[in-house]
Structure 1
């Protein structure tokens, strides 16, 4: 088994490698784990700089189309030049990049299988790179945030009935923009940014059809993302482990063993399919 491993935003490959050590202790010693750093420098994730030295990276910043495309291209290039890889393993943003790649590539090039199984830990939801985007505009004078749903060419979708403040495809990216509103509010003029919409099992019929393992923290602010990604996968091939922690890898010995077991079950299904 050979895995491509993608770290979380504001960390790096060495950090993910250290975080995975307890899980890997339960897995076969001949399994190989290759780690890929993001190309964008980032501020450290909360509390991470007190434990691990930098530099810290991300695969993209805000989910603007060009940045997500660059992350997509980076991973795809590594897969094609340094593969094949049997599986992909991602934490947080790395998991979202992995599922973004799997779902979008299956639509654009269904004959090329990038990975045979996947592991998604504390994931956020993947971005749909083919269904358009939201142009978000914040007007500091009016203190108002507005949005226009556009197609991939940037044309407004006139007959759209999308409630962008509550729609499952946009709520996560709206939350991210809201978190950055103090920066936008300091501007004297209205500022705009294009952001991608997310996949969601309610609005999309496409599914990840390879065996998968999912790790979800019950106190994770993105736990609903993790559960939604499970819904984007084939039920009979999805193995889910929950723990009582937050946005982190589980620490208890019993849960770590369960995670390793879920990964092994996904691998066994992969081997049975091939």
Structure 2
């Protein structure tokens, strides 16, 4: 059983290997292959695990403000799957779950009649799943006439990319001399917020738009077996709950932890997650 592993935003392979060590020990017959992001992440320590690796470079898979970065990450991962696969499943955390879901959804939309063994993965494990992003070319009639300033999307992106821990930068600041919060803010403010004809908001650079997949509009987009490990107390709809709603209910299993946006932990909890991963794989 070969599993592709995608770490969270602001992490790396070493951290993700540590986070998953306890339940990997319960899955000795599984093979785990880790793929590290390439977009440098400079934010200050935010979790138990990044604190444990204060000088290790951290990465994300794409710049969420750049359509080209998002598309390139998808293209690169699809190529990696072709060269290093096939993979039975994908194990992903936080920001990595969005990329994993984007690959699954893209394949389903482009190849609606593909057989299970022709898909990127036969099953998926999403830990603290983040709602995946959708990038699309701007065409006539894509938007209503409405253009919004200081929209909810801009506020949300600002709170994520320009929060205090991000603008402080990590302890090894000398390694990130090119990091410029003002440039991130300018990049964000250069995007326009527009309303799509289906009612959802998107950010646009004039050529491409970035929005989220929406189960209320797009329906169920993933029909493979999925395991959703998330914090039930999390108030943000886009940090776990919505990912479950994009998946076929009859093929989904949920496990709730109580560590917020951080990784689940504890011997009993990790043992249970390992059991659920195995059961999800066996359903595929």
262 and 207 in structure 1: CA distance in 2 versus 1, 3 angstrom threshold = same
241 and 210 in structure 1: CA distance in 2 versus 1, 3 angstrom threshold = same
1:255 CA drift (Å): 2.1
1:24 CA drift (Å): 1.4
Structure 1 residue 175 corresponds to structure 2 residue 176: no
The equivalent position to 2:268 in structure 1, one of 249, 254, 271, is 254
Whether the 8 Å contact between 2:95 and 2:130 is mirrored in structure 1 is yes
* Alpha-carbon distance between aligned partners in 1 of 2:153 and 2:255, rounded to the nearest angstrom: 23
TM-score relative to the length of structure 1: 0.78
The equivalent position to 2:101 in structure 1, one of 83, 99, 102, is 99
* Alpha-carbon distance between aligned partners in 2 of 1:73 and 1:185, rounded to the nearest angstrom: 24
Give the 3-state SS of the residue equivalent to 2:242 in structure 1. helix
**Which whole-Å deviations, capped at 9, do the CAs of 1:72-131 have from their partners, x for residues lacking one?**
0121111000000000111111111000111122101333411000000012101123xx
* Alpha-carbon distance between aligned partners in 1 of 2:10 and 2:215, rounded to the nearest angstrom: 28
Whether the 8 Å contact between 1:38 and 1:57 is mirrored in structure 2 is yes
Query: Which segments of 5 or more consecutive residues in structure 1 lack a partner in the other structure?
Result: 133-151
The equivalent position to 1:157 in structure 2, one of 142, 148, 155, is 142
Q: What is the match of residue 3 of structure 2?
A: 3
Give the 3-state SS of the residue equivalent to 2:240 in structure 1. helix
Q: What is the match of residue 52 of structure 2?
A: 51
Whether the 8 Å contact between 1:221 and 1:246 is mirrored in structure 2 is no
* Alpha-carbon distance between aligned partners in 2 of 1:218 and 1:164, rounded to the nearest angstrom: 33
1:71 CA drift (Å): 1.0
Q: Which has the higher contact order (CA 8 A, sep 6+)?
A: 2
Q: What is the match of residue 19 of structure 1?
A: 19
User: Is the deviation greater in 212-221 or in 94-103?
Assistant: 212-221
Structure 1 residue 199 corresponds to structure 2 residue 213: yes
**Which whole-Å deviations, capped at 9, do the CAs of 1:183-219 have from their partners, x for residues lacking one?**
47986xx633635111121111242011011110234
Q: What is the match of residue 222 of structure 2?
A: 208
* Alpha-carbon distance between aligned partners in 1 of 2:153 and 2:185, rounded to the nearest angstrom: 23
